[in-house]
Amino acid sequence: MEAEEDLIAAVRQLIKALESKRNLTDDTRNILADLGSQLSAIARCPDTSNEEHDQRDHSPDELELHLDKLYDKIMSWEKDQQSTMIWDCGSQEAYDYLKSVDEVRKLAEKFESNGDVKLLCRAHDVLQTAMARLEEEFRLLLVQNRLPFEPEHMSFRSSEEDIIDVGSVISSGDDSVEDVVQRESMGRGSEEYILELIHPDVIPDLKSIANLMFDSNYGRECSQVFVNVQRDALDDCLFILEVEKLSIEDVVRMEWNLLNSKIRRWMRAMRAFVRRYLRSEKLLTDQIFGDLDGVASECFAESSKTAVLQLLNFCEAIAIGPHQPEKLMRILDMYELLSELVPELVGLYSDDAGVSVRTECQDVLKRLSDCTKATFLEFEKAVAANVSANAFPGGGVHPLTRYVMNYIKALIDYSKSLEEVLNDESPSLPPLSLSPDRSPASDEETTSTSSSISRHFRALTTILENNLDEKSKLYKDDSLQQLFLMNNTHYMAEKVKGSELRTVLGDEWIRKRNWRFQQHAMNYERATWSSILALLRDEGIQNPGSNSISRTILKERLQGFYLAFEEVYKSQTGWSIPDGQLRDDLRISTSLKVIQAYRTFVGRHINHISEKHIKYSADDLEDYLLDLFEGSQKSIHGGHKK
């Protein structure tokens, strides 16, 4: 017997050493826990074969005497040691108590089979007292041996970025749209390990109590204690993870900056809760109630359902809230995370007891999908409906253009998920007022092989271009109108060319925008310089009735050219071409035309022009042209370099 005890002790030490390792699988931990429980049962289980034989052979008087002894043993704890836990007095004392209760249970079964009502009632009274004691012992073992939940081991801590997310607010008037909502990217591997929620030494004791209470028809009381204690523990876990209990109304009314912070916090909490705490809770429940058919699943579902639904309710509140475009990336983050976690949750709640949780998970995921779809379509409508009362100063890249292009560029990271939610959408979009050359079909936007995201992105850029066309009409100056369209079309093309948007919109889309912005550049030059360069032509400079050159007309032509050039300089130095390369290209193209025409005209007629009438040299004009499109209005007569 002593050798057996030594062997059991050695195996227990081995089990503890193995359980301390972090990289064990759930199956391995289950096996170790079950082995530990079996060792405890071997060590504690009395040899009841003789006892049952004795009970079978004993007379009623002897059985009653035995019941009296068990009564005294059990009731001694109620009379003299009410405030003392049995398990505080050592394992032998606890073992003796469980053995006594189990004997009362067996006596009750014998009295029932013999029809001895009097002794049966006495046995049930003793059993009821013992069950009340075991119920409390079970509760205290759970509470007092709970291990602290430390979120730092889960890389979870709220930080400054949870409160202030600089790039999260998409403002149509702010270049920070370049930093559209940062995508949450936390690795999965580091999140998956089992936590010890209860000190492992007491798990066999909890299992022994549970088995005895269920054998004694007090299973409901035992499972209810477990559910209540663990429900509180799960609430504490959510509190530590800083998950607040918010109503749907609270979430819907919340200002975006604050809501964005809470969504990020929810995502971290959801990952940690499901992949670590909930999986650990499931394992603990299986370890305690694993011998009892179906009980573990019911206890786990009942104890954890409230916490899981609290987390899912936040999702639901987001899903039914206003479909504001700035929320789309965060909603997609939530959708992707929940898509990833739902199979795990379904696995945790795989039997009938978890059907309500499984159903709610799938329903919330569907609502998030619908919300994502509606929010994207709302974004399309918002772009189409964006109206300006005044022309954008300087003709540069409009904030709406930056907003839309950076928005869809950020959405590329969510291509797979966005494709899923858009895939069942009809290709047709809300009716649009399309320019003749900007129909979706002209960009091969409706091919049968196009993905949903490609069709929507192409349609969205078409909506943007139509909006920009309308905004360009606010300029009274046709030159500035063309410059505005050139800037914005060029920005769109460059944004796609230099990003993964190229794979979605395609090279044909880029070629068409390149052609368009070049056309706008040519139209700008024509609108600005055609009438001015006409002054440098030879037609009409002869004296009336002869072929001789009129000095007066030459003087008037040069004065007219200088005045027009100065006017262009004064206005167009205040115009803007934000892209440096595009700005240089247009200056060079303009300079080649204007300076060449000026040099040719002056050189051809130098003998008929007084030097005092030549106000600027060709080099002066070329220098002045380098000042155009800087966005800061200047005047040549304001002390400039000549």
Helices (H), 80-116: 91-114
C-alpha distance from residue 149 to each of 162, 303, 383, 527 (Å): 21, 17, 47, 72
Least confident of 74-88, 165-179, 260-274, 337-351: 165-179
Is 624 within 8 Å of 636 (Cβ atoms)?
Answer: yes
pLDDT for 155: 44
Tokens standing for residue 82: 């009410």
Q: What is the pLDDT of residues 450-470, one digit of tens each?
A: 578 899 999 999 999 999 999
pLDDT in tens, 231-264: 999 999 999 998 988 888 899 888 888 999 999 9
Q: What is the pLDDT of residue 43?
A: 47
- Maximal C-alpha separation, the chain: 154
What values do phi and psi take at 637, rounded to 5?
Answer: -85, 10
Question: pLDDT tens digit string along 297-308?
Answer: 999 999 999 999
Q: Which residue has better confidence, 571 or 111?
A: 571
If phi over 0 gives left and psi between -120 and 50 gives alpha, with beta otherwise, what is residue 328? alpha
Question: What element of type H or E holds 250?
Answer: helix 248-253
pLDDT at position 173 is 40
**Which tokens belong to 36?**
């530990």
Tell me how crowded residue 443 is: count the other CB atoms within 10 A of its CB: 20
Residue type present at position 330: R
pLDDT, tens digit, 9 for 90 and up, residues 120-152: 788 788 888 888 889 999 999 999 999 987 765
Residues 513 and 582: their CA atoms lie apart, in Å, by 14
Contact 495, 404 (CB under 8 A): no
Q: Which of 392, 386, 472 is nearest to 435 (CA)?
A: 472
State the pLDDT confidence band at 171, using cuts at 50, 70 and 90.
very low
Q: Structure tokens of 253?
A: 């009314």
Between CA 602 and CA 609 the distance in angstroms is 8
Cβ atoms < 10 Å from Cβ of 524 = 25
Instruction: Please write the tens of the pLDDT for every residue from 439-450.
Output: 444 444 443 345
| Bridge partner residues of 146 (DSSP) | 198
User: What per-residue confidence (pLDDT) applies to 20?
Assistant: 53
Q: Which residues of 86-117 are buried (b: 16+ CB within 10 A; e: fewer)?
A: bbeeeeebbbbbbbbbbbbbbbbebbeeeebe
Nearest Cα residue to 489 out of 457, 512, 456: 512
Q: CA-to-CA distance for 379 and 22, rounded, in angstroms?
A: 46
Contact at 8 Å (CB) between 320 and 248?
Answer: yes
Phi, psi (degrees; rounded to nearest 5) at 512:
-65, -40
pLDDT at 393: 93
Would the pLDDT of 367 be above 80? yes
For residues 153 and 623, what is the distance between their CA atoms, to the nearest angstrom? 64
Which of 34-43, 181-190, 406-415 shows the lowest mean pLDDT across its residues?
181-190
CA gap 469, 485 in Å, rounded: 7
Contact, 364 vs 338, CB < 8 A? yes
Is pLDDT above 60 for 16? no
CA–CA separation, 192 and 199 (whole Å): 20
Cα dihedral 76, 80, 85, 89 in deg (nearest 10): -80
pLDDT at 60: 67
Q: Is 377 helix (H, G, I), strand (E, B) or coil?
A: helix
Give the chain's domains with CATH numbers: 2-144 (no CATH), 165-382 (1.20.1280.170), 401-525 (no CATH), 537-625 (no CATH)
- CA atoms of 48 and 27, how far apart (whole Å): 32
Categorize the per-residue pLDDT at 487 as very low, low, confident or very high, splitting at 50, 70 and 90: very high
Question: What average pLDDT does this structure show over 314-326?
Answer: 89
Mean pLDDT confidence for 605-624: 90
Backbone angles phi, psi at 314, to 5 degrees: -65, -40
Cα–Cα distance for residue pair 605/28, rounded to 1 Å: 99
pLDDT class for 27, splitting at 50, 70, 90?
low
Burial (CB count within 10 angstroms: exposed 0-12, middle 13-18, buried 19+), residue 346 = middle
Task: Give the C-alpha separation, 353 to 282, whole Å.
Answer: 13
Paired tokens of 29:
């931990």
- The encoded tokens of residue 60 equal 């009623």
Q: What is the mean pLDDT of the chain?
A: 81
- Residue 473, C-beta contacts closer than 8 angstroms, at least 6 positions apart: 481
| Chain centre to alpha carbon of residue 470 | 36
Distances, alpha carbon 352 to alpha carbons 190, 220, 226, in Å = 31, 18, 19
Question: pLDDT exceeding 90 applies to what percent of the chain?
Answer: 51
pLDDT over 60 at 270, yes or no: yes
Q: Are 200 and 19 in contact (CB under 8 A)?
A: yes
pLDDT at 296: 93
pLDDT surpassing 80 at residue 540: no
Percentage above 70 pLDDT, the chain: 77
Q: How confident is the model at residue 35 (pLDDT cuts 50, 70, 90)?
A: low
User: Which pLDDT band, with edges at 50, 70 and 90, does 399 fall under?
Assistant: very high
Q: Facing residues of 198 across strands?
A: 146
pLDDT of residue 176: 41
Report the pLDDT value the prediction gives residue 442, as an integer from 0 to 100.
47
Q: What single-letter DSSP state applies at residue 197?
A: -
221 neighbors 135 (Cβ within 8 angstroms): yes
Alpha-carbon distance 161 to 164, whole Å? 5
CA–CA gap between residue 305 and residue 308 (Å, rounded): 5
CA distances (Å), origin 481, targets 71, 259, 384, 478, 564:
100, 40, 20, 5, 19
